[in-house]
Amino acid sequence: MFNLGLPEIIIIGAAALLVFGPKRLPELAKGLGKGIRDFKKALEGGEEEKDAELPPGKTPTHSVHTKSDEHSSEEEKTGKRS
């Protein structure tokens, strides 16, 4: 994808260190890692896991609609399968 070698990575890291400083750089890296992790969870269906973690008696505040939900409601209306 990107043809980056060790010298290029070192230059990018040094530039980031100069721009953001040694105190802010770990915070930015932590935030970037958390963002990537949350994005991957969302792609894998992390919303379903959040609903499963609710205590008994609590209902989710949002509903998740999928393509299969749309097809099943159409089938109920028409009585036909697509």
pLDDT of residue 53: 66
In order along its 82 residues, the chain shows pLDDT tens digits of 678 899 999 999 999 999 999 999 999 999 999 999 999 999 987 555 555 666 666 666 665 555 555 555 555 556 655 5
Domain boundaries, the chain: 1-54
pLDDT of residue 8: 94
Q: What predicted TM-score, i.e. pTM, was given to this entire model? A: 0.43
- Compute the CA torsion angle 7, 11, 13, 17 (nearest 10 deg): 150
